[in-house]
């Protein structure tokens, strides 16, 4: 069994936060996940999700409070 990576942990938090509608915090988690990524595909995915979340914030869709 593979150990649970830091990327996986951060990506999971980002997904949950994004699903709650808290795009500002989700963008931060996606940024952190991109920094922890060791595989190029994970890096690119995290960067794309971060950009999506930031765009949702710009458009006024950040409705929820912080997950923390």
Q: Cβ(35)–Cβ(14) under 8 Å?
A: no
Mean predicted confidence (pLDDT) in 5-17: 96
| Alpha carbons 29 and 54: distance in angstroms, whole number | 12
Q: Cβ(65)–Cβ(22) under 8 Å?
A: yes
**Residue 4 scores a pLDDT above 80:** no
Per-residue pLDDT of 18-51, as tens digits, reads 999 999 999 999 999 999 999 999 999 999 999 9
**Residue 9 scores a pLDDT above 70:** yes
The model carries a pTM of 0.85
pLDDT for the residue 63:
74
* H-helix segments, the chain: 6-19, 23-36, 40-58
């Amino acid at each position: 069994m593979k150990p649970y990576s830091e990327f996986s942990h951060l990506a999971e938090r980002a997904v949950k936060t994004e699903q709650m509608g808290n795009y500002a915090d989700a963008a931060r988690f996606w940024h952190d996940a991109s920094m922890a990524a060791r595989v190029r595909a994970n890096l690119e995915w995290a960067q794309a999700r971060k950009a999506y979340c930031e765009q949702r914030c710009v458009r006024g869709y950040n409705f929820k409070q912080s997950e923390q």
